Structure 1
Amino acid sequence: MPIAPAYDWVAHHAMVSPDRSAWADIDSTGDGAGLACNWREADERVGRSAAMLRDDFGVGRGDRVVMFSMNRVEFIEVQFACARLGAVFVPVNWRLTVHELDYIVSDAAATVLCADPEFGDTAAELTQRTNVPHLVVFSGAGSHPEGSVDYDDALAAAANRIDADPALLPVMPELTHDDPLTIMYTSGTTGRPKGAIITHGMSFWNSINLAELSDLGRSMVNFCFLPLFHTGGLNCYTNPAAYFGGSTLIMRTFDPGEALDLINDPERGITHFLGVPANYLFMGQHEKFATTDFSGVVTTAIGGAPSALPLLQMWEKVGCPLIQAFGMTETSPMVTSISKEMAVRKAGSAGLPGMNTAIRIVGEDGNDVAPGEIGELWCKGPNITPGYWNNPEATADAITNGWLHTGDAAQMDEDGYMYIVDRWKDMYISGGENVYPSEVESALFDLAGIADVAVIGLPDEKWGEVGQAVIVKSPDAAGSVLDETAILNFCRERLARFKVPQSVRFIDELPRNATGKILKRELRG
């Protein structure tokens, strides 16, 4: 069976709907902010960006371009510029420390790093540490390090070259659905981040899968307030909106009051948005929630962590049933979703598999379990990653005959609805961000005086879950100051804020089974 070709979505909409809105920044944060484009303008800017990457920095098919930025139009622009060249877009989490980013950028072996000026100094240090040849910094307030290239200046120069010779305008090469579009790094259970390969086909099939229950289409106005470096921000629903020719409004960072003002503004016409439970909780607790008009909203989706029934009921009362869903970076991301009609009736369920995705609940013996029994969720389909960048061992461990092991414990009811009941592995979710305890534990073992450590996730009303470090001191720690403050300060220096435990507990010995595995369920009580 021939592999389907990949197409240039932006160029298509520029021909079909040139004057319809494509995307826009919705808050002003300095020079270059507030950028808004219709599809004709978006196509022009993507072409210039692609020409700049190709002609100024030698970016070609298969080369990686790292994006280190907060939400802004240029984030999406560079992604589609990479697609037009057959290059690979690598968004990274700006919340990470240089120590964490060093491994990711080195592993990606990027040709160019594009950075928000707010992170200019960090980006300069990162390019030096990882030997990335070129640093491009967007316009706006912040640092523009010596030797970096201003994005707008480079775009203008590319436009002049194209005006003089239109043959210089890049055209997408012959790509297929199997060609990589993006590499998105996720924290790994071994303590090292893994680069999940997202192909052109995965992005296409994710858009198709989401369309059914989320009512996606050309008239949609997506409100993106999740970080675009996260699959939830980029792929639900920003890229699907681009596939269907809808538009996206981009909020730099989430603010519940401002978000409600935008939803309430009829001129914005917001129809779709996805958030994690914390987003919906903070909006629901805001004084403006009671007076916000949600009548124009078509779809409100929630993911990243299980949703509490009171939160679902709160939003249903204002006419916005929260569509619960399950997905992962490796699944582009939708695996399952629930309809608006069933959102409360099947409260707690992540729904049914997407039309083009299959799921299984698998026991430890590798066989499917019966309805009501708990096993590991596996999934398969054209929206599933082919593997991890530069990591064949992790790929082999995660995929069996095309079935991706999600690492989540789940059960299915008699109607086929899937429920996530626990972590098959030890990962927990804090504020919508995945935290793998092994990564935190690995960092803590570098602190003198720690003999043993286990990190667990504990329930939290605000963030869903927060970490607790359970510490066994070494005998030589008696004379040192190894208390909760010292341990948390050490973590803050080495880890992103969302990974830093909220508390520390000291015990004499960690509980283990006969094979030496730590019994974290006992630590959780």
Structure 2
Amino acid sequence: MPGDYGVAQMMEQRSVAEAADYPDTIGDLVDRAADTHGDATLAKWIESGVTMSYAEFAEKTRKLASSLVARGIRKGTHVAVMLPNVAAFPITWVALGRIGAVMIPVNVGYTQQELTFVLTDADAQFVVIDESALPALEAMEALPPLLSDTRIIVHGGTRADGQSWEALLDSGDPEFTAPSPISRNDLLNLQYTSGTTGFPKGCMLSHDYWVLIGSLAAHWRGSSGDVKNVLIWAPFYYMDPQWQFLMAMQLGGTAKIAPRMSMTKAWDYMVDEEIHYCIFPEPALKVWPESETDKKLHLKFVSIFGWSAESRKAAERRFGCVARESFGMTEIGGGLMVPEQAGEKAYQRTCGIPAAFREARIVGADGKDVPQGEVGELWIAGRGILWGYYKRPQANAEGFSGRWFRTGDLFRQDEDGFFQIVGRIKDMIRRSGENIAAQEVEAVMTSIPGVLEAAAVGVPDPRRGQEVKVYLRLSEGVSQQDVSPETVIAHCSSRLARFKTPRFIAYVDEFPRTVSNKIRKGDITPDGTHPRADSWDRTEGRWLTAADADAQTG
């Protein structure tokens, strides 16, 4: 008989979560938290030492909102926000939410070309920009059509014809009242996704989306004990720091905010700031070898994504915390969760069962649900998911089937009802009629001691359609001699079927990445370079030159 694995407890928690009284808007959420927690510390910016209480944060967002309205921002106005991990980011976000305006988070590392695309595509009418990011804006030949010099607000400095963010905050009215009513279904963010290929798309996300994702995250993480200190170390223009900030608020805790992602500093952050929760990257387990210093950590719950069974067990053993997988996307927020009480099930490669307000099904190419145990595409429906992609009718037609959002991810459901990810539909390797999930190959690669990251791709082959190639990024201090191609193949012998075992192996110092830090597989090999060149060929037992690669594919 199938086991329970904490499903009963999670279903009970779901019922409680779905029956809860949620604020309608992000402004309501902030005000409710300020009324409850007042002078308690809501946020601390770790390296600068700046802190802010719940009451102070709420007041600053009202003051800024009043000044932004005076500048001409109204309900529905599109405002690009290009700020690093400073207090101005969440203050601006909530201030815009109080007005009913729409925030467009923008990566501060964007070039002139990337910035031009997003500002134009998103129909940005105002820009809030950090002084350090001005060179990309100044490099534009002309501002996008809906922008003007007078609608550029600079944080940390000034610009001719522009406005100082600090001056707007200082001159604002703390008794601000929105000029137009705002509902939970109003648009709050145009959050641009960064898929592994193509231009990013703007996800239209409502107030309800953000209130639910922050509140439900607090509900699940808070169940594992007194979780209060939340480490935010990704840039705020990504979605994770935004919901983590709201989660900390709903927990009545403190968001501890790092200026940037840093594997070398994160350990000290977690120890010194007594961090209870964070998103924990699997490579950190190798960067930080097990030692007595593990006892200095205060972790209670960590979110993990795609970890091996060995890593899941190691994290819980080393840190005495709960490590749980989940599945989410910018488009849907949280979709699947592994129950805290899952026991041994939590060590399997599973994303869990549907979270609160979520329905899930696995669908075949014919649009019908596949039998349990078979692979199909995961479809998700429920309250508060994205409206759709901004100005992308074709993507919306392809991405939705009625109320169901098509995730583009391949899953199977096991006999216990748990959903297991197989890979992206577009990330499958087709070799001699066999479908090979790149994620499965990559998981085996990263279980090799000394391998920090891996990317598996299909390379064209005249006989088999595609062959499997892996790119390996090794840990610091580890050489190719330590993790030789022969070592890789030997490691695969008991873990992968022979047709899944990589034929080609290559090594990289760094991977090209999207703005959300995903590996851009299509850009690993430079344009014009043969995909087999400078690779070790398992079949021929040698390294291939460009001439060898050309000769093989003729």
Same fold by TM-score greater than 0.5: yes
Choose which of 185, 195, 199 in structure 2 pairs with 1:192: 199
Give the corresponding residue for 1:309: 309
Using the TM superposition, give the Cα deviation of residue 376 of structure 1 relative to its aligned residue in structure 2, in angstroms. Answer: 0.2
CA contact (8 A) 1:377 1:410 kept: yes
1:15 equivalent in structure 2: 35
What is the CA deviation profile of residues 184-208 of structure 1, one whole-angstrom value per residue up to 9, with x for unaligned ones? 1113588232111111111222234
- 1:337 is displaced (CA, Å) by 1.3
- Describe the SS at the equivalent of 2:139: helix
Cα displacement (A) at 1:251 = 0.8
Pick closer, same or farther for the CA change 1:343–1:326 going to 2, 3 Å: farther
Structure 1 position 375, deviation (Å): 0.2
Q: Does structure 1 residue 92 correspond to structure 2 residue 106?
A: yes
Relative distance call for 1:290 and 1:180 in structure 2 (3 A) is: farther
> What is the match of residue 230 of structure 1?
238
Between the aligned partners of 1:403 and 1:390, the Cα distance in structure 2 is 19
Q: Considering only CA atoms, is the larger Rg found in Structure 1 or Structure 2?
A: 2
Alignment of 1:453-468 (within 5 A): 459=442, 461=446, 464-466=453-455
Distance 1:215 1:10 in 2: 18
Give the match's secondary structure for 2:216: helix
| Aligned residue number for residue 43 of structure 1 | 58
1:270-322 C-alpha deviation (Å, 9 max, x unpaired): 222124xxx3422552269640446632211123xx21223212211121232
Query: Does the alignment pair 1:353 with 2:357?
Result: no
Look up the match of 1:123.
Answer: 137
The answer for the alignment partner of 2:525 in structure 1 is 503
SS of 2:345's partner is: coil
Output one character per residue of 1:396-427: Cα deviation in whole Å (capped at 9) or x when no partner. 22111210000000111011111111111249
1:464-483 alignment, distance < 5 Å: 464-466=453-455
Structure 1 residue corresponding to 2:257, chosen from 247, 250, 256: 250
Identify unmatched segments of 5+ residues in structure 2: 1-21, 430-437, 462-507, 533-554
1:296 is matched with: 298
Structure 2 residue 179 is the aligned partner of structure 1 residue 177 = no
1:69 is aligned to: 83
Q: Secondary structure at the match of 1:296?
A: coil
Q: Is the 8 A contact 2:286 2:452 kept in 1?
A: no
Q: CA deviation at 1:467?
A: 7.9
Cα deviation code 1:427-480 (max 9, x no counterpart): 99xxxxxxxxxxxxxxxxxxxxxxxxxxx99847466444879699xxxxxxxx
Tell me how far apart the structure 1 counterparts of residues 254 and 370 of structure 2 sit (CA, whole Å). Answer: 42
Q: Which residue of 1 aligns with 2:46?
A: 26
1:120-168: CA deviation from partner (whole Å, max 9, x where unpaired): 21133359442423222322xxx8554443322332233xxx3xxx66x
Q: Determine helix, strand or coil for the equivalent of 2:212.
A: helix
- Between the aligned partners of 2:289 and 2:179, the Cα distance in structure 1 is 48
Equivalent position of 2:342 in the other structure = 342
Given that 1:47 and 1:81 are in contact with CA atoms closer than 8 Å, whether structure 2 keeps it comes out as yes
Cα distance, 1:233 vs. partner? 2.2
Stretches of structure 1 lacking an aligned partner (at least 5 in a row): 29-33, 429-455, 473-487, 509-525
> Contact conserved, 2:203 with 2:331, CA < 8 A, in 1?
yes
Verify: 1:52 aligned to 2:52, yes or no.
no
CA distance in 2: counterparts of 1:494 and 1:295, whole angstroms: 31
Q: Give me the whole-angstrom Cα distance separating, in 1, the residues matched to 2:354 and 2:516.
A: 33
**2: distance between equivalents of 1:385 and 1:465?**
31
Change (3 A) 1:47 1:284: farther
Cross-structure match for 2:278: 273
Alpha-carbon separation, structure 2, partners of 1:401 and 1:75: 35
Show the counterpart of 1:135. 152
Does the Cα contact within 8 Å between 1:64 and 1:111 map onto a contact in 2? yes
Give the Cα–Cα distance (whole angstroms) in 1 for the partners of residues 86 and 304 of structure 2: 22
**Deviation per residue, 1:313-346 (Å, 9 max, x gap):** 2211121232111110001x21011123326534
Structure 2 contact 107–515 (Cα < 8 Å) conserved? no
Answer with 41-50 or 205-214: which moved more.
205-214
Cα deviation for residue 40 of structure 1 reads 1.3
Distance in 1, matches of 2:379 and 2:513, equals 36
Amino acid at match of 1:299: F
TM-fit CA distance, 1:367:
1.0
Q: Is the 8 A contact 1:409 1:422 kept in 2?
A: yes
Give a deviation string over 1:475-525, Cα, whole Å, max 9, x none. xxxxxxxxxxxxx9xx989999853733355169xxxxxxxxxxxxxxxxx
1:359-508 superposed matches below 5 A:
359-426=360-427, 459=442, 461=446, 464-466=453-455, 499=520, 501-504=523-526, 505-506=529-530
Q: Using the alignment, how far apart are the partners of 1:251 and 1:149 within structure 2? A: 27
Shift of 1:118: 2.5
CA contact under 8 A between 2:218 and 2:250: conserved in structure 1? no
| 1:312-327 pair list within 5 angstroms | 312-318=312-318, 319-327=320-328
Q: Distance in 2 between matches of 1:412 and 1:294?
A: 39
State the Cα distance separating 1:227 from its structure 2 match: 2.1
Question: Residues 324 and 338 of structure 2 are in contact (CA less than 8 Å); yes or no, is this contact kept in structure 1?
Answer: yes
1:432 aligned residue: none
| Corresponding residue SS for 1:8 | helix
Q: Can you list the C-alpha shifts for 1:81-140, whole angstroms capped at 9, x where unaligned? A: 01110111111233443322322211111122122332221133359442423222322x
What is the deviation of 1:247? 2.4
The answer on whether the counterparts of 1:362 and 1:375 sit within 8 Å (CA) in structure 2 is yes
1:104 aligns with 2:118: yes
Check whether the contact 2:75–2:101 (CA below 8 A) recurs between aligned residues: yes
> What amino acid does structure 2 have at the position aligned with 1:371?
Q
SS in 2 for 1:204: helix
Q: What SS does the corresponding residue of 2:249 show, helix, strand or coil?
A: helix
SS in 2 for 1:340: coil
- CA contact 1:204–1:243 (8 Å) conserved in 2: no
Displacement after TM superposition at 1:256 (Å): 2.6
- Please tell me whether the aligned partners of residues 103 and 188 of structure 2 are also in contact (alpha carbons under 8 angstroms): yes
Q: How many residues align?
A: 438
Letter aligned with residue 275 of structure 2 = I
Q: Is the 8 A contact 2:65 2:95 kept in 1?
A: yes
| Length-normalised TM-score, structure 1 | 0.74
| Cα pair 1:337 1:350 within 8 Å, conserved | yes
Question: Which residue does 2:541 correspond to in 1?
Answer: none
Alpha-carbon distance, 1:371 to partner = 1.8
Identity among equivalent positions (%) equals 24
Whole-angstrom CA distance in 1 between matches of 2:317 and 2:396: 44
- Give the whole-Å Cα distance in 1 for the aligned partners of 2:89 and 2:189: 13
